[in-house]
Amino acid sequence: MNLNKKDILILFTVVLLGTTLVLWLTDDNTTAKNQEQNSIKNSGIAVEVTRPSVKTIDEELPYLGTITGAKDGSLSFRVGGMLETIEVEESEKVQKGQLLATVSVPELDAQHSRAKSELEKAKSAKAFWAREVSTDSTLYREGAISQTVFNKTAFNYEQALSSYHAAKAALKEVEERIKLTELRAPAQGTIGSIIVREGSNIGPNQPVFFFHQGQTVIYADVLEQDIQKGIEVGSPVTVELNNKSVKGNVKRIDSQAKPPFRSVRVFVGLPDGVVSGRPSGAGVSLSFKINKQENALLLPVSSIDLRGDSPRIFKINKQQKVEAIPVQLGIQQGEYRQVKGSLSETDKIISSGVNNVESGDRVKIVRETTLNI
């Protein structure tokens, strides 16, 4: 094929334009990819961060305790009837002899009225025959009456005197029984729970109150290995009573472990009066506080990376890059864990998505929170 100069020029122009177009399209695509990569590089991986919280913490060892006391028991009336009044409240401290409650016994009231009436009659009869004896004694000395008449008058007086003493004793007996309608504190102590309410009918010796004397104590059978962690006399203890946390401390620890589980009985002391409505033998939840740590650094458990051989956390440096920090794990409190390592309370620590980053990654902080523990 013979091409003239004109055809060669046209062909060269077409090839040149095609090559230029291909190069332009290739360069434009490369630029777009580079821009996309730079955009990703500049934005980084989205993460949430938090700063460690610094506080004093201790380790808690939960156990089930049992309530006991120096002298615990129930108080009851010796007579039955209707519980008329209750003069005290639960958890109230009382003194020996203090009135706690009264019971109404209608038949005792009737007996008391009859006994007083009988005593008045006997008193009148005694007075009458005393006057008769005095009169007949004078008449007998003057010879106006015989020995037989005088002896009869004297006998009637003795009968009246005997009836008077019997009526007096009967009234005293009724009054002693009336005293039993009052329930008084046998000693200084604290009212526990009130078992029966006002208006209820009760029988003799039916418990009305639980009564605590002396300091209330709670004991727990603690595993020997937990004792070795640091439980000792004076160690603080928190006890859950009536939906409240009450602070106490270890008062005594038995010296020998008891088989089969090698447990040691630990006695916990509480302030007087804090146990109400709970008799001896009742169970309570308690926690021994050990291993106190001051200025401990706490982080959410979600901040800790456990993928490797040892735990680590991820800190964000000034270049917005990830730095892996090896840490030692300490006491855990709920969803927070004590960490020990090369970090401070001002460091920004990744708190979520730790499985999506590695040391050296560039990140973008989308949320920063402050721990409120």
Tell me the two tokens of residue 245.
């946390």
Q: Are the CB atoms for 366 and 48 separated by under 8 Å?
A: yes
Q: Supply the pLDDT for residue 40.
A: 46
Q: What pTM did the predictor assign? A: 0.47
Given this structure, which CATH class describes domain 62-69+214-292? mainly beta
Say how many residues make up the chain: 373
Residues 6+ apart with CB under 8 A from 92: 190, 191, 273
**Which position has the token pair 């009305």?**
208
Q: Supply the pLDDT for residue 36.
A: 46
What is the CATH code for 106-179? Answer: 1.10.287.470
Spatial distance between the Cα atoms of 337 and 343, rounded to a whole number of angstroms: 14
Q: Supply the pLDDT for residue 31.
A: 52
Spatial distance between the Cα atoms of 193 and 112, rounded to a whole number of angstroms: 33
Query: Where exactly are the structural domains of the chain?
Result: 45-56+294-370, 62-69+214-292, 76-103+182-208, 106-179
pLDDT in tens, 300-341: 999 999 988 899 999 999 999 999 999 999 888 888 999 999
Q: Which residues of 73-101 are buried (b: 16+ CB within 10 A; e: fewer)?
A: bebbbebebebeebebeebeebeeebebb
Q: Supply the pLDDT for residue 2.
A: 53
Q: Supply the pLDDT for residue 316.
A: 94
CATH topology of domain 76-103+182-208: OB fold (Dihydrolipoamide Acetyltransferase, E2P) (2.40.50)
Distance of CA 365 to the CA centre of its chain: 42
- Measured torsion, CA atoms of residues 221, 223, 227, 233, in degrees rounded to the nearest 10: 0
Q: Supply the pLDDT for residue 184.
A: 93
Residue in 353, 288, 291 with CA at minimum distance from that of residue 322: 353
- The list of the chain residues with pLDDT below 70 reads 1-43, 69-71, 214-216, 257-260, 272-280, 373
Q: Supply the pLDDT for residue 255.
A: 72
pLDDT in tens, 29-64: 555 455 544 554 456 889 999 999 998 888 889 999
Given this structure, which CATH class describes domain 45-56+294-370? mainly beta
Query: How many CB atoms within 10 Å of residue 345?
Result: 12
Q: Establish whether domains 45-56+294-370 and 76-103+182-208 are of one fold.
A: no
Q: Supply the pLDDT for residue 279.
A: 62
